[in-house]
Amino acid sequence: MEFNDTVETLLPRLRRYALRLTRNVQDADDLLQDTVLLALRKKHLFRDGTDLQAWMFTIMHNKNVTNVKRAVRRSTIELDEGAHVYCDVENTILLKEVVAEIDRLPPPARRVVTRVAFGASYAQVGQLENIPIGTVRSRISRAREELRWYLK
Residue-level pLDDT at 125: 87
Q: How far apart are CA 22 and CA 17, in angstroms?
A: 9
DSSP string, 129-146: HT--HHHHHHHHHHHHHH
pLDDT band, residue 75 (cuts 50/70/90) = very low
Strands 83-86 and 76-80: antiparallel
Hey, what CATH topology would domain 3-73 get? Rna Polymerase Sigma Factor; Chain: A (1.10.1740)
Q: Is pLDDT at 53 greater than 70 in this prediction?
A: yes
Q: What is the pLDDT of residues 99-144, one digit of tens each?
A: 888 888 888 998 898 888 877 889 988 888 899 999 999 999 999 8
pLDDT band, residue 21 (cuts 50/70/90) = confident
pTM for the full predicted model: 0.49
Residue-level pLDDT at 35: 94
User: Which residue did the predictor score with more confidence, 102 or 70?
Assistant: 102
Beta carbons within 8 Å of 6's beta carbon, 6+ residues apart: 52
Residue-level pLDDT at 1: 61
Residue-level pLDDT at 95: 72
Beta carbons within 8 Å of 22's beta carbon, 6+ residues apart: 28, 31, 64
Residue extent(s) of CATH 1.10.10.10 domains in the chain: 93-150
Residue extent(s) of CATH 1.10.1740.10 domains in the chain: 3-73
Per-residue DSSP letter, 121: -
Q: Give the mean pLDDT of the chain.
A: 82
User: Which residue did the predictor score with more confidence, 89 or 149?
Assistant: 149
Share of the chain above pLDDT 70, in %: 82
The tally of CA atoms less than 13 A away on the side-chain side of residue 29 is 3
Long-range contacts from 18-25, C-beta under 8 angstroms, 24+ separation = 18/60, 18/64, 21/60, 21/61, 21/64, 22/64, 24/78, 24/82
Of 7-16, 54-63, 80-89, 141-150, the range with the lowest mean pLDDT is 80-89
Burial code (b: 16+ CB inside 10 Å, e: under 16) for 106-143 equals: eeebeebbbbbeeebebeebbeeeeeeeebbeebbeeb
Whether CATH 3.40.50.2300 fits 93-150: no
Q: Where are the beta strands (DSSP E) in the chain?
A: 76-80, 83-86
